[in-house]
Amino acid sequence: MLIFKIVLLTSLVVWLLAMLAAYQYGRIGRQLLRSDKRLAAVETELPPLSVIIAAHNQSPALRRHLPAILDQDYDRFEVIVIDMASTDETKDILERLELKYANLRHTFTPASARDISIERLALTLGFRAANHEWVVITHANCEPLSPQWLMRIGETIAHPQQGLQSPRLKTPDMVLGTARYDERRSTWLDHQTGFFRLWNNIANIHHILDGHAAVRADACNLAFRKSYFIDCGGFATGQNLKAGAEELLVNHTSKPANTALMLAPSAMVVQDRISSEQQWRQERIFYAETRRYQRHARLYRFAQDCKLLMPWLMLLAIVAPLVVAIILALMGSTLFPPLQLYILIGILSLLLMIYLPTKLASFYKTTRTWGLRNYFLTLLLFELQLPFWNASAWLSRRFAARNEFRKKFV
């Protein structure tokens, strides 16, 4: 009887916590559906914007994606491409596009740069070259999902409180957007990488909406105030790190009162999909190194770890006892009274039948609002894999050579 009570009480506690986490999946979708993200009725002059892109041997990506940025439906903006010592056709493509677009110009990083990563140097040159106060950062292999991408950024800068924001937001110094991978193909790797990126974006957004500073950012879709960038010392943190420039910039300068969110579907950016398992693994390893330099991240990491463990707790506290109880009932075991087994099977089955549809429907609400693919039952599988993806990246970083993350070359 005591074991029966312990199992039942443990299952109920874990179920309540898991239901709370499952319901939170749909928080963004529910609130976005209730908020007006178009702001068409607000007639205020929007700020001019400077878009900066650091590129290294990415001429095909620039040829494919840069026109979508240059053709944005926005009155005043410029695009600055910083060529990081490319040896392909990058310069020729930029010069041809500059003949067509008067608001496009490019510069390059000096080959003699020392003690700073080329990516950080390129972005710093972009900030310095920008003619406008607000600088938008994106990548060469990205393009906006909508011609209104810059419009959404300008609206969020001018009227942040009309969107979905932290209750502590006052005047934004940075605007954090979202990005996804190209979903026109649908391989197993595409599903894994898309879910991993989405899960981390949701975790960071929830942390900000709860009134905290941003821990990380999606480097493909970020706007930053130029004067604030200069006052904060730019990319002084981890300046010789090969990756993570944008994430650490946000992490070290974000405050609850100065960080705005841009979550409208039309403000999303699409990035070329990851081509191989090795490339994805390398990205996770480099983030594990970047994570070592993050500030004010303890609460975020604690909440993230709890969410990572929750699917496994459900498996151990509800699914495993349910399977054992069914097996004992079918075998006619005398270890427990049959009535207790049947009650336990019924309660655990009911909890599971409530939990699974709630989780799937909640996650679907957010993916549908953002126009993303739905993961259906693969959501459950990917959730169980999340701790192993993070652990493998941490172990690989732990035993990697230190200079692997600190080369000055891209």
Residue-level length of the chain: 410
121 and 264 both lie in a single domain: yes
Is residue 26 packed enough to be buried (19+ CB in 10 Å), middle (13-18) or exposed (0-12)? buried
245 and 329 both lie in a single domain: no
304 and 291 both lie in a single domain: no
83 and 214 both lie in a single domain: yes
Q: Which of 259, 279, 297 is the last residue of a domain?
A: 297
- Mean pLDDT (whole number) for 31-36: 74
Q: Which of 266, 297, 328 is the last residue of a domain?
A: 297
* 46, part of any domain: yes
Count CB atoms within 10 A of the CB of residue 272.
17
Instruction: Work out the pLDDT band at 153, boundaries 50, 70, 90.
Output: very high
- The DSSP letter of residue 293 is G
How many CA atoms does the CB half-sphere of 270 hold within 13 Å? 20
- C-alpha to C-alpha distance for 137 and 229, rounded to whole angstroms: 12
Predicted confidence (pLDDT) at residue 1 exceeds the cutoff of 80: no
Q: Considering Cα of 385, then 308, then 26, then 316, what sign does the dihedral take?
A: positive
- Mean pLDDT (whole number) for 12-31: 93
pLDDT per residue as tens digits for the range 121-132:
899 999 999 999
- Mean pLDDT (whole number) for 182-192: 91
C-alpha closest to that of 262 among 359, 146, 378: 146
293 and 311 both lie in a single domain: no
132 and 171 both lie in a single domain: yes
Question: Which of 152-156, 241-245, 361-365 comes out lowest in average pLDDT?
Answer: 241-245
Residue 155 structure tokens: 């609206």
* 31, part of any domain: no
100 and 247 both lie in a single domain: yes
266 and 332 both lie in a single domain: no
Residue 129 structure tokens: 């070259």
The structure's pTM equals 0.92
* 275: Cβ contacts below 8 Å, ≥ 6 apart: none
255 and 397 both lie in a single domain: no
* 410, part of any domain: no
Q: Considering Cα of 64, then 66, then 69, then 70, what sign does the dihedral take?
A: negative
Supply the range of the domain harboring residue 169: 38-297
* 407, part of any domain: no
C-alpha closest to that of 21 among 206, 195, 197, 179: 206
* 374, part of any domain: yes
Predicted confidence (pLDDT) at residue 29 exceeds the cutoff of 80: yes
Secondary structure E strands in 70-215: 77-83, 104-108, 134-139, 142-144, 174-176, 179-181
66: CATH: 3.90.550.10
pLDDT at site 41: 46
259 and 239 both lie in a single domain: yes
Question: Which of 322-326, 391-395, 397-401 comes out lowest in average pLDDT?
Answer: 397-401
* 60, part of any domain: yes
202 and 95 both lie in a single domain: yes
245 and 233 both lie in a single domain: yes
* 252, part of any domain: yes
Q: Which of 246, 264, 297 is the last residue of a domain?
A: 297
* 287: Cβ contacts below 8 Å, ≥ 6 apart: 243, 244, 247, 393
pLDDT per residue as tens digits for the range 40-73:
545 578 999 999 999 999 999 999 999 999 999 9
Number of domains in the chain: 2
- C-alpha to C-alpha distance for 251 and 295, rounded to whole angstroms: 6
Biggest distance spanned by C-alpha atoms of the chain: 85
* 409, part of any domain: no
Predicted confidence (pLDDT) at residue 334 exceeds the cutoff of 90: no
